[in-house]
Structure 1
């Protein structure tokens, strides 16, 4: 019995000694070629989505205006209005739709008393809210790269899905 315990202990000690600390394999890192492929895929997808969104806008009764961050909003010259600064606080809510205008979540998403610069929302949502006054609403058209990107949200928003977002400042 002592021999069995000793043999098992020795085998375990040898196995532990031979096991080096876990280091990521170099295969887990993207090569320059992989990065270039990914960059081109994102660029091509963004170009395709922008074209599709622009075609979709032509069939709408509402007019949309481009914003500097690569999304569209239904308020003319919104980016000419005063812009809130990092540290300013805001409460807001928003609903998310696909381009068939199907509402993806039953209840609005949002936050109360959040500081600009510390949002956990999409950059386009934070950007448009910076220009809106209390009680004001906007509808934004967001390419997937500015929304939930390649992975979606793991719930109702699939990968590479452009979105319509209706935002309201509370």
Structure 2
């Protein structure tokens, strides 16, 4: 009788040992992805960028009076007002005071300078459009610069949920009025 009482415990232990002793093979995925989505996405983005760069080239050619410079980040810019005296530019942590206007590539005003006035931006510490984040660091005090941003340097595939649509390249005219060190934060 005593032996019969221990049978469930013995069976449970032997079952546990048998399960742990087996080396289980990992399950194979039901379907194998061939990466077609990624290839199609890359092809679509290359086509989008090529089209936007074609539009940018058209704008640059239609304005021979302006000298455009290509940035390392993939946008173009030209000076309307240049400051040759000052050498300092905003750096991370500085507070920049600027105004800007946003247009589409057809010249339609999306956001006017009056609507955007005034802007106070803590350089690289606040979230603003990627192109402006980089472009402001190229400017000197009292300069006015026209930026031609492809959509990936603007608001990308999502837009701004207001007036800027998805994959919309932008023309931004920025005036950097001043910048100063931020005295409220501690240095890194």
Distance 1:36 1:117 in 2: 33
Matches within 5 A, 1:35-50: 35-50=38-53
Distance 1:46 1:110 in 2: 32
Is the contact made by 1:149 and 1:161 (CA closer than 8 Å) also made in structure 2? yes
> Runs (4+) of structure 1 moved beyond 4 Å?
none
Distance 2:59 2:141 in 1: 29
Aligned partner of 1:73 among 74, 77, 97: 77
Is the contact made by 1:95 and 1:109 (CA closer than 8 Å) also made in structure 2? no
TM-score after normalising by structure 2:
0.64
Aligned partner of 2:100 among 79, 85, 94: 94
Say which SS state the counterpart of residue 55 (structure 1) adopts. Answer: helix
1:152 aligns with 2:159: yes
TM-score after normalising by structure 1:
0.70
Aligned partner of 2:119 among 97, 111, 127: 111
Distance 1:162 1:109 in 2: 22
Cα deviation for residue 55 of structure 1 reads: 1.9
Q: 1:70 to 1:82 in 2, by over 3 A?
A: farther
Larger radius of gyration: 2
Distance 1:138 1:127 in 2: 13
Q: CA-to-partner distance for each residue in 1:73-112, whole Å, 9 max, x for gaps?
A: 0039x9xx65533222212221100122111124126631
Cα deviation for residue 40 of structure 1 reads: 2.4
Distance 1:109 1:64 in 2: 26
- Unmatched 5+ residue regions in structure 1? 1-29
- Unmatched 5+ residue regions in structure 2? 1-32, 178-188
Q: 1:131 to 1:156 in 2, by over 3 A?
A: same
Matches within 5 A, 1:126-137: 126-137=133-144
Is the contact made by 1:96 and 1:163 (CA closer than 8 Å) also made in structure 2? yes
In structure 2, the partner of 1:139 is 146
